[in-house]
Amino acid sequence: MKTPRELGLRWPAEWEPHRATWLVWPHNRSTWPGRLEGAEQAFVEMVRALHGVEEVCIGVQDEAHGERVAKLLAQAGPSDGQTLKVIPTNDAWVRDHGPVFLTDTDGEVHAVDFRFDAWGKKYPPWELDDAVAAQISELRGTPCHRADFVLEAGSVDGNGAGTILTTASCLLGDNRRLPGEPKRSIERMQQRLRDWLGAECVLWLGEGIVGDDTDGHVDDIARFVSELVVVAAVEPDPSDANHAPLAENLDRLQRMRDARGRPFDVVPLPMPPPVFVDGLRCPASYANFYLANDVALVPVFGSPSDQRALDVLREVLPDRQLAPIPARDLVLGLGACHCVTQQEPAGP
């Protein structure tokens, strides 16, 4: 079987034109104990912000669940441009268990189905989630390429020109190894990213943020907003546990170069104050935004730092409206706007 690289496929950047945004509607009460309805309201706000911007495709558990979701969305506004599909899941994190869409030289869309094991077998069962990517690919009629290793799309961020950001703490961990899989190494994982996502250059950051159960997904700490511009989360309070690892990642980024040897414009993005829900510190980060057509969904947490973060993002995303999404309930599930979305590129 040829790899996506051998087939000439490319991973488009998130800011390139989309056909649709994919969501899986939240339903797992153990993920949002006592706050599921609040998480649903955040989804309603995201769908409302995407209305008229691009198609929104939503996975639901069954017909009854779909009827309930449709009613919630109808109460919030127009429902044209929304498609509900029955896709049974264990949980809602489509960024990680859904497909990663690539395009060929003619612009035709393909799907990559990476294996999924609930972030290193932390939250069984995950069998339904591991089947999501193939189902979405079949619904869309795209060729599907099944990988033989675990990878979550929240653990990688690409600039569309061959450079990928990731973290050693996540990609090199033994907890994601499948039976019989060799020990993970930088060399082996870089080759996999070359073969499956077209990486010409892989840039390695260190630790993630406090409360992140993914072992350090990059979408909470540093994100491309254009080919040579990266926003990097920073914590100015030296007493905060996030201060040192984020400072180290910022320093690394400032010394890094892209696949063509060019430096990046690294823009600091403030962190919110610690967000505790029922005594649990959650992985709250403004870096967990999502870039749709003409709009950016940005998690906000009811803090004065919300406005400072929005001001930074407005400067680096001048061609997009910013849609603040109240995320205090959503982040109790240990993720935010980027974690629950997946972009499908526009076709030819």
**Residues taking part in catalysis:** 339
Contacts of 272 (CB under 8 A, 6+ apart): 284, 285, 286, 301, 303, 305, 306, 309
Q: How many residues does the chain have?
A: 348
Q: Could you count the other beta carbons within 10 Å of the beta carbon of residue 117?
A: 20
**For residues 328 and 302, is the Cβ–Cβ distance under 8 A?**
yes
How far apart are the C-alpha atoms of 159 and 67, rounded to whole Å?
38
Nearest to 101 by CA among 217, 200, 13: 13
CA-nearest of 17, 14, 340 to 164 is 14
Angle of helix 36-50 relative to helix 63-76, nearest 10 degrees, comes to 60
Are 269 and 312 in contact by the 8 Å Cβ rule? The answer is: yes
Which helix (H) or strand (E) segment holds residue 337: the answer is none
Alpha helices in the chain (DSSP H): 36-50, 63-76, 94-97, 118-121, 127-130, 132-140, 168-171, 186-197, 243-255, 305-316
